[in-house]
Amino acid sequence: MENPEIIIKLTPDEALVLSDWLEQVQMTDLSRLVDDAAVWAPLHRIAGTIDKSLPGIFATDYTERLDAARRRLRPAPDDDTDDHEGSDS
């Protein structure tokens, strides 16, 4: 029997950066970015699930936390891998 749910694991930094991006996407005209309305429901569900697990999204230092997470997630300037090829995440 198949597992009825898909579980995605993210680090706190990944969740914070993805949450911010999803918020930006949701604030735009989704129909311009996503041409299939069926995709909207899972996008909103993912965003809501991530936001519930991130109490820091309402912190006064949110911008600093987000900037720090982005810096930690970006590849080092001397990193010669493209898009984290070979990564199992």
Q: What is the mean pLDDT of each run of 10 residues along the chain (89 residues)?
A: 84 95 83 82 90 90 96 85 50
pLDDT given for residue 89 in this prediction: 45
Count of domains for the chain: 1
Report the predicted TM-score, pTM, of the whole model to 2 decimal places: 0.75
pLDDT given for residue 83 in this prediction: 52
User: Is 55 within a domain?
Assistant: yes
User: Is 50 within a domain?
Assistant: yes
| Structural domain containing residue 62 | 32-74
User: Is 6 within a domain?
Assistant: no
List the one residue out of 53, 43, 49, 52 whose CA is nearest residue 22.
Answer: 43
**How far is Cα 78 from Cα 85, in angstroms, rounded to an integer?**
15
User: Is 70 within a domain?
Assistant: yes
User: Is 61 within a domain?
Assistant: yes
